[in-house]
Each structure stands twice: as structure tokens, then as C-alpha cells.
Amino acid sequence: MPAPLGSLRAPEPAIAHPTCTHRAPTAAVARIRHPVLLCPKHMKSPFRPSVIVFVLAVSAFVNGASLLGATPPTLSTPPTPSTPLPAPPSAAALTIAPGTDLQALHARGPQVVSFTVDTSPPAPATTATIGDLHAVFALPLAALRDAVTDYNAYPGFVPRVTYSRAERIAHNPVVYHQRLTLSFRVLFFGSDYDYHLQVVAPHPPSADEFIMHYRMTESLDGQLSGVAGSWYLRAVLINGREHTYARYFNRIDFAQDQFGLRLALRNLGANDMRTAMLAFAREAERRQAQRPSLSLTGAGS
């Protein structure tokens, strides 16, 4: 997940020749990064006027490209993880929902535990959507975990994800820095959202359980004031066969109201989460068919 304009450092003051009586240097010349003797009369090699002109031209080109909106950099230098690491957005979503009939849930597909569109969330958000869904899939836990944690592959199989790039920035616990871009195009509503996430897998991988949670660290387009969510996977047996219980929690706080946003969230928000869960399950099935033997560590270890 570009360098803000505020990161451009202020120019260092230029140094005039101590015996020079010439006119003070212009502001443009004073932007040279290294102190030099600016008077051409007293200037010694290699600081000749032609060199200064060349440096100024290159500097103007580079700075102009940045200010005019050149392509932003990718995650070449990801930040260090926050200290302390952010807590999961909902501790209640990191367990099997009370009263769940696993066999019935498997037969029905992803179901809503709760879903809310909040039109009066805490400032600065204007609208928030809070979704909590769960499902049981006829898959080993490792297969589903490998799909969920293959962050760079998201654009290939997760609906609405047009860009995803993640880099590991810590190993114990596992922490990723991820840049994610989502695109929504639904009849009366359309928008893109570009933001950075910190993704945390707080515990070592096991054959029985997996927890991953994430939180937005920066909205690159200013359209979101917060994103937080989690995945909880638990190995379960149904009729003696290995299955995986999956619970997906996601909260998005929107910083700006847009025409059709709330209507789209009410009508399609829960269904979007359901579609995403099914997409991860289908990808896990596809990979399992190609690679029957799954490692314990997985992609997110």
C-alpha cells in the first residue's frame, strides 16, 4: 500500500560567497540540495553554472512529476508493525457462534450472524456497515486457510478486488502490510476504494484453528475512515468427515456520503460478504484438486 506531499523536505539554505557583493541568489537557485558557493564569479570546479542548471532541471522534472500525480510507488518499503499490535475488531467473532447447528449450516451455505448499516456512526465516519457471517465448508482447514492468506492472489478470485499487494513485515507474530483496492459498480452506485491494511495472524498455525484479523492504517483516496475485520477458521467433524467452520467479520466506516451508497449497502452488503466467502471456498477447492497434500504452515505462516 505513495509518499505524501508533506514528505518533501524543506530546502537547506544556500551559502553565499563570504566576499561576494553580487545580488542574493534567487529562490529557485536556493533550492539546490547541497550548500554551494552560488556566485559564478567565485565558483570553483566542479560547481559551474552549467552543472547548477542541469541539477535544477532534473530536480524540477522529478518534483513536477510527483506533484502532477505520477504513478504511486508500490510497497517497496513497508512500515514496521504498530506497537502494540491492534486488537481484533470483535472478540465475539473469533469463536463458533453460540447455538450453531454445524450440519444444518453446512447444508444452507453462508448465513448472516448479524448485519447492520449504521447511518450515525462515530465521527468522522458518515455511514458504517458491520457484517458477521459464518459457514461450514467440506474442506480441510489448511486448504481454506491457504486461500484466505494468499493476499497477493486476491484479484484473481475475490469479487471486487482489483489490486492487492502484501509484504510480510514481522514473523512472530506474523504481520503483513497490504495495499488493497476495491471497485464497486452496481447500477445506481459506483466507487473505488484504495487503502492500506495491517494484517495480523496472532498465533502459530495449527491443524485445528486459525485466526487472522486486519485493520486499515491509511485511506489513500480519503473515502474511508476505517476498515477492520477478521477470519476465524475451526476444524470440525460432520459424519466423520473433516470440515471447516468459517466466520468472517468485516466493518467499513465511510468518510463520505455518496449517492446510492446506503441503499447499496442495505440491499447488497450482506450478499457481498456471502459471495466473498463462497469465492474463497471455491478457490480452496480448486487448489486442493491440484495439490491434494497440504502443508501445515500455509501461505500466511
pLDDT tens digits for range 51-86: 433 433 434 433 443 333 444 445 545 566 655 677
Q: What is the pTM of this model?
A: 0.70
Contacts within 8 Å (CB) and 24+ apart, 149-158? 149/201, 149/212, 149/298, 149/299, 149/300, 150/299, 150/300, 151/176, 151/178, 151/199, 153/283, 154/180, 157/279, 157/280, 157/282, 157/283, 158/276, 158/279, 158/280
CA separation (Å) from 56 to 4, 8, 49, 68, 154? 22, 16, 11, 18, 43
pLDDT, residue 115, reads 97
pLDDT, residue 187, reads 61
Place of cell 508500490: 74
pLDDT, residue 205, reads 82
Residues in the chain, pLDDT under 50: 1-73, 76, 295-301
pLDDT, residue 182, reads 94
> Domains in the chain, please, with CATH?
5-67 (no CATH), 91-290 (3.30.530.20)
Torsion of CA 94, 196, 141, 134, to 10 degrees: 50
In whole angstroms, what is the distance from residue 246 CA to residue 134 CA?
Answer: 5
Q: Which residues pair with 212 in a beta bridge?
A: 231
∠ CA 20-24-29, rounded to 5°: 115
pLDDT, residue 84, reads 66
Query: What's the Rg (C-alpha) of the chain?
Result: 26
In whole angstroms, what is the distance from residue 99 CA to residue 101 CA?
Answer: 6
